[in-house]
Amino acid sequence: MPRKSSSGRKLVFTIIAWTIGLLMFFPIFWTAVAAFKTESDAYTLPQNWLSTPWTLENFGIVQERSNYVRYILNTIGIAFLSTLLGLLFAVPAAWSMAFSPVTKPSIDWSGKRWLGTILGCAAVAGLILYVSVNWDLTGHPLLGMLMLILFITPIVLWVFSRNTTDALLWMLSTKMMPPAGALIPIYLIFNRNGLVFKDWGWIDLSEWNLIDSFWGMIPLMMLLNLPIIIWMLYTYFKEIPTEILEAARMDGANVWNELTKILTPMAVPGIVSTCLLNLILAWNEAFWSLNLTNKYAAPLSFFISEYSSPEGQFWAKLSAASLMAIVPILIVGWFSQRQLVRGLTFGAVK
């Protein structure tokens, strides 16, 4: 491009870019402003912003009326704990796939094998069902569970025999499952009066209720994002030169030492990026939060949604509540852009 008039070009681009940037950011900015105005003033238009008084009252009111702190704690707790739990599962998994990859599937699945396994399992399941309960499963959920396991067996065998690349891709594909499909099953599992709630004899689960339960949300969030965590860690681990780990082996390190003294310190930036991404995903998650929580375990996304059918004027309070919900993630996002790109594209773009 011609070097002349680069100042002029720069000016033009500056104007265009700043305009678009400010336009994109404007809704956020306005929310921030409205949060500091009284309810009656919250609706003032930009030209009146400087003339109306600023106030902190909204934050107080929100906290007073609805114990806002609880929702913040829920959000933080669910986000952090599900991330931690995810790491617990994902670090060994990513380690195994990055450094001891399986190149050949351990079971060769031909069409005949598939057919045989599926038919076999189906036959056994059907037989047991017929003989014991004549196909009527109501009242015998345990049996239903057993049949489930039998039905899943071929699939489980297939999954565990995969080579590493296929296993990774399969894991990613579980993320693509529409939540709408899992809504009923999860609802039924979590609900009192659902599938699990019952006195089973050998274990009494009649107190079971995971709806609106903090500890119910955590494993769910973990499962939702586990594929992404594993994938991101995998790409970061793959960047560590194998020779360094081999040197550790030669130096006499056992597997534990290798993991803790060599791998983890070197992988810290990658682990941190993965945690940040997961925090963002868990914090902003809406579908399950809206459906499965209500009062006690509700994170911020649920709480804000309560403002959709309020009484009276509420915009300033909505803005105040929203501000506190979005600022932490905005800051995290601003500082971890590069790392996020890797996670948000499943590693395809670096």
List the interface residues with another protein, window 54-83 (CB under 8 A).
none
Q: Minimal distance in Å, beta carbon 231 to another protein?
A: 11
- Judged by CB under 8 A, which of 65, 111, 112, 180 binds another protein? 180
For residues 36 and 60, is the Cβ–Cβ distance under 8 A?
no
CB of 112 vs another protein, minimal distance in Å? 23
Q: Does 87 bind another protein (CB under 8 A)?
A: no
Distance CA 58, CA 106 (A): 62
What lies within 8 Å, CB to CB, of 295 at 6+ separation is: 212
- If the CB atoms of residues 108 and 243 are measured against another protein, the closer one turns out to be 243
Q: Is 215 in the site for another protein (CB under 8 A)?
A: no
Q: Does 346 bind another protein (CB under 8 A)?
A: yes
Residue 135 β-bridge partners: none
Among 9, 119, 126, 295, binds another protein (CB under 8 A): 9
Pick the binder of another protein from 18, 54, 114, 200 (CB under 8 A).
18
Which of 69, 123, 124, 330: binder of another protein (CB under 8 A)?
A: 330
User: Where would I find the H helices in the chain?
Assistant: 6-35, 57-66, 68-99, 111-133, 141-160, 164-175, 179-190, 214-238, 242-250, 255-257, 264-284, 287-292, 300-305, 315-335, 337-344
Closest CB to another protein among residues 9, 295: 9
State yes or no: residue 103 binds another protein (CB under 8 A).
yes
Q: Does 223 bind another protein (CB under 8 A)?
A: yes
The structure tokens listed for 102 are 């399986």
Q: Compute CA distances 314 → 54, 70, 75, 237, 324, whole Å.
A: 16, 20, 22, 48, 16
Which DSSP string corresponds to 262-318?
A: IIHHHHHHHHHHHHHHHHHHHHH--HHHHHH--SSS--HHHHHHGGGS-SS--HHHH
DSSP state of 53: P
Q: Which amino acid is located at 295 in the chain?
A: K
Site string for another protein, 118-137 (x = CB under 8 A): -------------------x
C-alpha span between 236 and 266 (Å, rounded): 10
And the tokens for 148? 């489930």
61, 76, 182, 196: residue in contact with another protein (rule CB under 8 A): 182
- Please identify, using beta-carbon distances, which residue of 137 and 272 lies nearer to another protein: 137
Interface map 288-327 toward another protein (x if CB under 8 A): --xx--------xxx-xx-xxx-----x--xx--x--xx-
Q: Is 61 helix (H, G, I), strand (E, B) or coil?
A: helix
DSSP state of 323: H
- Which 236-255 residues touch another protein, going by CB under 8 A? 241-255
Closer residue to another protein, CB minimum distance, 249 or 295: 249
Contacts of another protein in 145-164 (CB under 8 A): 148, 151-152, 155-156, 159-160
- Nearest approach in angstroms of CB 269 to another protein is 11
| Given 221, 280, 297, 298, the residue binding another protein (CB under 8 A) | 280
Q: How far is the CB of 119 from another protein (least distance, A)?
A: 18
Q: Structure tokens of 165? A: 């690349």
Select 141 or 214, whichever has its Cβ closest to another protein.
141
Cβ–Cβ under 8 Å, residues 182 and 172: no
